[in-house]
Amino acid sequence: MTGEQFSKLLSGIDERKLSEAENYTESRKFRGKRAVIALAAAALALLIAGGTVFTAFRVGASYDLLQNAEVGPARAAAPITDFPAVPDASGDLISPMRAGFYIGAIFEGKIEEICDSRYLWKNAPCTVLRVKVLDVLYGKGLPETLNVCCDRCPPDAFEGYDRFIFSLRQIGIENFALIEEGTGEIRYFDGMFEPFGAIGSQVASVFAFKNGIFDPAFFEKAAIERNVFTANDWKSYWEFVMDHEDAYSVFLPVGRDTTIENAKARIKEHLESADGVPTEPVVLTKNDFFDGKADLWTEVAPENGVFTHDLLSYGDGTSRVAYERRVNGFPSCEKIYIDSSGTVTKSETHYTEEDLAHVPDIAPLIERFDGRTASSPSAKAVEGHAELVSWRADGRYFKIDGKVSAVILYMWYYRFGDPSNRWCEVGLDRLYVYYDVDGRAEAITAEELENRTGVYMMPAGGFTAFLSPTDDFGPINEPATPAPTPDDDPDTVKETEEIEETTAPGL
């Protein structure tokens, strides 16, 4: 067998393994650097007699983190940055709160402070910067300084540069919460932004300049990601793009040895073209926004969950900010929307404190369903007609019949076709198992779920006929059938040799 045949056959493996390989990297890639940072911190602590360096985590990033975090009252911890009212570009004195959400803002900036604290964002470390806005290329009402949260960026990557061009979007007006690793405390930030490709080139969102000249090496150091690209991908991708500008139809704001003034001029010129900024920024300026925000505050009490947000656009060009409540770390269908006029709209499944007092724990249910695949009714029904490729159990909270209930989304992925010829279709089947507050389980279809909750979910891929509402899924406390583990499978290779981990050279 040749290497290429083997590698080609690898394409047929469960793609979740490939995804997990990348996620593993995301969650562990800075382990060595963290260790070094910790050592450096320890040394520093000795020197300054009591200094503390800690890592922080973003709320909502991980169920486990939330479970382990000591979640206090919403305003218990003071923000590390207190924004004063500042003049905007027109000279009016405004609060950055009043400036509202920006989906796209592009400006020349200078880093005033790299926060000592370390945080985790989506299980990856991130660095928080305090950035001074020097020259706004796009957007209005930006504060003079703002916070930027860069995931997977080591803090030292930003050192040594005198200027940056940032393309950002705002991810928190206030109550952007992070958890410090050392203390487990949640800390709240005002006016948090993150890198976002608003320039339209889709090639990068932060450009670093040393002595006024663009430095592509920054991408390697900072590891600012776009989607799944790693730092190394970025570096090679960027170098390839600069060497083959004609091969891409994307806008390149910088090339080798571009000065910051030239880069700004190119960006401004591009912004005026039809292919410039893809989306108008959402800027909430009305005073009634504050009323809405105050109302929102009463909904954000984190004892039973933390709201996450998303930026949404619609076919008519309008945009809204949506907050979705997370309960016990899992998403629920409760949403609060703020549109560009500042109007706050709550979904009809608005939760009350009484609702939240009777929330079932969804995690054990998911674990339990992960062990039931072999005996699932769908698996039996399609036997001989399709191949079960993979399955996944997930959970979500809905408000059904006036009560917050757990619904397990149990998904099977099937491949249909003739194995002697080629597998020609991949199907997705979803089963929704609804648990009421008394622990009774019931299998329902997506359509039934929508009828009961008013929430649309992606329908099953044409295989709902295999589901029967009378299937017995047992009471909520029935012991789970454990899924086979590698240790139980005699055909599975076991790893017995542990290789001692080493730190990367030079660290």
What residues between 14 and 33 interact with other proteins by CB under 8 A?
Answer: 14-15, 17-18, 20-22, 24-25, 28-33
Asked whether position 503 contacts other proteins by CB under 8 A, the answer is yes
Residue 12 as a binder of other proteins (CB under 8 A): the answer is yes
DSSP β-bridge partners for residue 326: 306, 331
Any contact of residue 385 with other proteins (CB under 8 A)? no
Q: Does 422 bind other proteins (CB under 8 A)?
A: yes
> Rounded distance, CA 428 to CA 394, Å?
14
Report the DSSP pairing between strands 119-121 and 145-151: unpaired
CB of 291 to other proteins, least distance (A): 21
Piece of the chain touching other proteins by CB under 8 A; list 51-59, 194-202, 290-298, 463-471: 194-202
Choose the binding region for other proteins from 43-51, 110-118, 374-382, 488-496 (rule: CB under 8 A): 488-496
Q: Counting contacts by CB under 8 A, is residue 3 touching other proteins?
A: yes
> Please, which residue, 187 or 235, has the CB nearer to other proteins?
235
Residues 6+ apart with CB under 8 A from 406: 359, 360, 361, 362, 365, 395, 396, 397, 434, 435
Which 24-83 positions form the footprint of other proteins (CB under 8 A)?
A: 24-25, 28-33
Total residues interacting with other proteins, rule: CB under 8 A: 93
Q: What share of the chain is helix, strand, coil (3-state, %, to 5)?
A: 25, 30, 45
CA 144 remoteness from chain centre: 27
Q: Which is nearer to other proteins, 111 or 404 (CB)?
A: 404
For residue 312, the minimal CB distance to other proteins (Å) is 5
Look up tokens 């989306």; give the residue.
279
3-state secondary structure 296-325: HHHHCCCCCEEEEEEEEECCCCCEEEEEEE
**Strand pairing report for 305-313 and 330-339:** unpaired
Q: Does residue 497 bind other proteins (CB under 8 A)?
A: yes
Q: Could you tell me if 252 and 178 are in contact, meaning their C-beta atoms sit under 8 angstroms apart? A: no
* Shorter beta-carbon distance to other proteins: residue 83 or 276: 276
Number of Cβ atoms within 10 Å of the Cβ of 68 = 12
When binding is defined by CB under 8 A, the residue of 66, 133, 333, 338 that contacts other proteins is 333
Measured CA to CA, the distance from residue 305 to residue 66 in angstroms comes to 9
Best CA proximity match to 203, nearest among 158, 270, 280, 141: 270
173 and 146 Cβ atoms separated by less than 8 Å:
no
Among 48, 49, 78, 424, binds other proteins (CB under 8 A): 424
Q: Build a one-symbol-per-residue string for 454-473: x at contacts with other proteins by CB under 8 A, - elsewhere.
A: xxx-x--x------------
Task: Determine, following the binding rule CB under 8 A, whether residue 501 of this chain makes contact with other proteins.
Answer: yes
Cβ proximity to other proteins, 111 vs 379, nearer residue = 379
Distance CA 112, CA 190 (A): 16
Span between the terminal Cα atoms of the chain, in Å: 40
Contact flag: residue 495 with other proteins (CB under 8 A)? yes
What's phi and psi for 172, nearest 5 deg? -165, 125
Residue placing its CB nearer to other proteins in the complex, 239 or 436:
239
Smaller CB distance to other proteins: residue 91 or 505? Answer: 505
Q: Using CB under 8 A, which of the segments 51-59, 135-143, 253-261, 343-351 binds other proteins?
A: 343-351
Q: Please answer whether residues 433 and 370 qualify as being in contact, where contact means their C-beta atoms are separated by less than 8 angstroms.
A: no
Nearer to other proteins, 278 or 439 (CB): 278
Binding to other proteins (CB under 8 A) within 213-252 occurs at 227-233, 236-237, 240, 244, 247
Q: Which stretch binds other proteins (CB under 8 A): 55-63, 79-87, 354-362, 424-432?
A: 424-432
Among 82, 274, 314, 477, the residue binding other proteins under the rule CB under 8 A is: 314
